[in-house]
Structure 1
Amino acid sequence: MMGGALDCESEPGGGSAFILTMPLIQCDAPAHKEPKPALPVDGADHLRRRVLVADDHPVNRRVIELILTQADVETIMAENGVEALDAFRAGHFDLVLMDMQMPVMDGLTATQEIRLLELTEGRARTPIIMLTANAMPEHVAAGRAAGVDHHLAKPFNAAELLALTADPSVLLKDQVAAA
């Protein structure tokens, strides 16, 4: 996906060498950006998008958090499906990023519970992106069956995640068109 190559040279009794080749793309230095002004304290903070991130691995959560700082969103982190469901019950989210395999409650079960909660409480459908290393067709199908709106395989493209975060309602329009 990044235009590189992975190779292996192996010799019985002599060991193995793994070679990763990646292109170095020359680019201009980033332009200096002025920091965005803080939101007013008078309650306008509610306009900021809220994203629930459920992933059991602390490094994954940190990477997602760092990417989402570029989108100026409020991120709420959960380490498993139970924590994600509790956070979802307690507040409104514009988008949920859900890992598939987590301890205590997996992402598929948590997604099903979120959809049930939306149904029973009359809440609007919240876009859910399955953000997982499980990218086989059967994993994508299981996510769709559980109520996932989009499947983004790890390692994912940060630009794609930011685009989805910019307008998560697009995911719901895709669901309606597919139905």
Structure 2
Amino acid sequence: MNLFDILLLCIILICFATGLRSGLIRQVFSLAAIIGGIALGFFFHESLGNLLLEKNIIAEPEISNILGFLIAACSAYILIHYLSRFLRDVMEKINMGWIDHLLGGAMGFIIGLLLCYLVVVGVKQFVGEDSPFVKNSVLAPKVVTGYHILREQAPDNLDKSLEKFQELREGKEEPDFE
């Protein structure tokens, strides 16, 4: 076991411990709150911005749209956050909080594995696969194998999306936003 293995192990253990402490509900709803907040901010920013202009709260249209986005995004984030808190409280009251935390640990482990995969791929990109740092690693091949197992469990259309992303990244095809 080398220094690279210790780094990978630390990443997995920190993610697992964080997931175990916070629970699955908090992890899922935190992500949903961020994505939902941004999505609703984009969806409602113009309506809220116009309302701020009509009520003479803000005079500049650009600033009113920015403020409209922030109001919508923050409101959605807070609402989803409180829904998460309510569900966690319900789980605790029916003595099922341990399941939430156990599943959170599993989710944390998966997140740690994915982060380690990104680290392994990044290190291989910069120092090469033949570097003793990577070549003598015990965990790096296991992380790559674990990633491939997770990827096999993913829906079929994920591969198509990843291929499309790769084509766009390499500049082979122009994005079609229509």
TM-score by length of 1: 0.18
Larger radius of gyration: 2
Q: Which structure exhibits the higher relative contact order, with contacts defined as CA atoms closer than 8 Å and separated by 6 or more residues?
A: 2
